[in-house]
Amino acid sequence: MYPFTDGSYAPKNGWYVAAFCHEVGEELLSRWILNQPVVLYRKADGTAVAVQGRCPHRHFPLGASRRVGDAIQCAYHGITFDAAGACTFVPSQEKIPGVYSIKAYPLVERGLWAWIWPGDPALADESLVPDMGDIGYSLPGYHARALFYHHVEGRYQLLNDNLLDLSHLGYLHHSSIGTPDDAATPETREANNRFIRSRRIMRNTLRPAVVDWQTDFAGPIDRVSGMDFHFPGFHAGIADVLVAQGHARAGELLRSNRVWHAVTPAGRTTTNYFFAMASPDPKALDEAESYLKPVIEEDIFATVEIEKIISTLDELPPELMLKSDGTAVMGRRALQRMMDAERQ
């Protein structure tokens, strides 16, 4: 499906954020992931688990069921599955049919996130979870915080496309975090087999609206903006504001944010969207929760409105690509390659 080849929806063999760690607790948490219902919860010993959210008996949602110790008991007929997916109890018969089990997802908690692997568990290599160093999570002196979770009524690649082309900051977010320089300044790109990195360094640049109250420095500024897309669904970004080159305080960090967007397919045209960030200044995180709320909503607005158009039109005309789409094109190709490889 658009923008991928027919029959291509999403790579399965990859680590996707299923939840923020803090969302996973004693209560069962229901979430659709790659068009499958999933249930997340934390065992008595604190371990987070994710299992199939559909009872194999009659398709009842296990997320609307009950915990019995570390197991889930289906609220319909009482069939019970442990945290590894094994069936431990069938109320109506003593012998448990051999075929009875539910899928248990490989799950890793790292950073603020609970990552699951929807594909073949045998391939679920923990070292493929984005490196916390690479994403700027373990920067000394930075405080990280989970800020927003949204269920978005648009297909996931629209959000990936959004994050892979930050030239939109100058327009979609012109009233807050971006300026025309975000679009006018060329970006550099590099890629390896795990992520694509783009960086944009704006020298002596326009001041985004939010900078005015974020600092009392009134002189010239430089900005560094960039995003790393860790396949298949994690974006780690940098947003720094510095005193401009040439000034006496040149290079002094006025503001420094690390931002993380996790984009996980929910249904065919819906998405789980997680936003978190870090800053050396905890107060900056409090402020961010307020000034980034409308920013994230602008991205969601774009996603939802584009989804309406592309799912209504009888035939979708081709997109007319620009040079600034280079990173997005690389990102799409990376996912398409993963999907193609899975099909073989």
- The binder of a second copy chosen from 74, 114, 135, 146 (CB under 8 A): 74
- Shorter beta-carbon distance to a second copy: residue 203 or 247: 203
Contact between 75 and a second copy per CB under 8 A: yes
Distance CA 212, CA 199 (A): 23
Query: Could you tell me what percentage of the chain is helix, strand and coil, using 3-state DSSP and rounding each to the nearest 5?
Result: 25, 35, 40
- The binder of a second copy chosen from 93, 192, 290, 344 (CB under 8 A): 93
Place of tokens 């990280």: 144
Contact between 296 and a second copy per CB under 8 A: no
Contact between 312 and a second copy per CB under 8 A: yes
Contact between 192 and a second copy per CB under 8 A: no
Distance CA 43, CA 28 (A): 11
Among 88, 87, 58, residue whose Cα is nearest residue 75: 58
Query: Minimum distance between the CB of residue 20 and a second copy, rounded to whole angstroms?
Result: 24
**Which DSSP category does 175 fall into?**
T
Contact between 100 and a second copy per CB under 8 A: yes
Question: Residues, the chain, total?
Answer: 344
- Shorter beta-carbon distance to a second copy: residue 103 or 194: 103
Structural tokens at position 150: 């949204």
- The binder of a second copy chosen from 16, 32, 81, 275 (CB under 8 A): 32
Contact between 284 and a second copy per CB under 8 A: no
End-to-end CA separation in angstroms for the chain: 18
Place of tokens 């019970």: 80
Q: How many residues bind a second copy (CB under 8 A)?
A: 56
User: What type of residue sits at position 68?
Assistant: V
Query: Minimum distance between the CB of residue 31 and a second copy, rounded to whole angstroms?
Result: 13
67 vs 86, 93, 326, CA distance in Å?
Answer: 14, 21, 48
Query: Minimum distance between the CB of residue 73 and a second copy, rounded to whole angstroms?
Result: 7
Q: Which residues bind a second copy (CB under 8 A)?
A: 32, 35-37, 54, 56-61, 64, 73-79, 90-93, 97, 99-100, 161, 165, 167-168, 170-172, 180, 183-184, 267, 301-302, 305-306, 308-310, 312-314, 316-317, 319-325
